Each structure stands twice: as structure tokens, then as C-alpha cells.
Amino acid sequence: MSDFATEFDFVLPKGYVDAAGTVHREGSMRLATAADEILPQKDPRVQGNPAYLVLILLARVVVRLGALDAINPKVIEGMFAADLAYLQDFYNRINSSASLSVAVACPSCQHTFEVEPEKVGE
């Protein structure tokens, strides 16, 4: 079995509030594919307003958010700005070719090791 992770858990700083008033904060996002980044550009909403691209893209890669049955662009549209910014940053971090870990040294013994930075909102 591979150790290669394709889904990553997150906790939104504020949380998405659905029509019933339920707050959904915990979710997971999968790694993006080439199709995730290319296909939304054909969407008429993106052609009319390029800023809409991020909403469609995030709706494609967020695979779970609380107890919601489905994630779609309307859900992403309804998020607080802080949560949208968090998801954009999270997307960039997990899809970056750069390592998610940081080299650190113990201040007492000077032993070096790598740690993953704490995720904002968790």
C-alpha cells in the first residue's frame, strides 16, 4: 500500500453556515488534477467573471465539509471571506510541489528533524 496521501483534512476558521443554521467546519480536500484546473475555464460563469474560477475549482476538490451531502459552487459562494481565503491557501499548500514539512533544530541538543507546520484554524 502506498504512503502517498491524496486527501487532506482541514478545519475552517469560521465555518460554513447552512440554511438550517448548522455550522460545518471540518472537511477534507483532495489533490487537484489537471482537469480540475482546466475544465472550469470552459464554464460560462468563469468566462463572464474570471474571479468565479476559484469557486468552481474549490467545489471540485473539497470532498467533505461537515455533514453536507454535496459541495458545489453555491456552498463555496456562501462561505465567509476568511474561510474562502483559508481554502485557497490550503489548496496552494497541498498542491504545491514544495514539501509540506519544515526543517527545525532542537534548541537543547541541536538535533535536526522535519515537522509539518500547524494548519491554521485547527
Question: Mean pLDDT, 10 residues at a time, over the chain (122 residues)?
Answer: 82 97 98 95 93 96 97 97 98 81 76 62 40
- State pTM to two decimals: 0.76
Per-residue exposure over 17-54, b if at least 16 CB sit within 10 Å of its own CB, e if not: eeeeeeebbebebbeeeeebeeebeeeeebeeeeebbb
User: Which pLDDT belongs to residue 102?
Assistant: 60
**Does residue 83 belong to any structural domain of this protein?**
yes
Q: What is the spatial distance between Cα 56 and Cα 43, in angstroms, rounded to a whole number? A: 9
Total number of domains in the chain: 1
Q: What is the spatial distance between Cα 8 and Cα 23, in angstroms, rounded to a whole number? A: 20
**Does residue 109 belong to any structural domain of this protein?**
yes
User: Which pLDDT belongs to residue 110?
Assistant: 81
Beta strand segments in the chain, E: 7-17, 23-30, 62-65, 102-105, 112-115
Residues recorded for the chain:
122
**Does residue 121 belong to any structural domain of this protein?**
no
User: Which pLDDT belongs to residue 90?
Assistant: 97
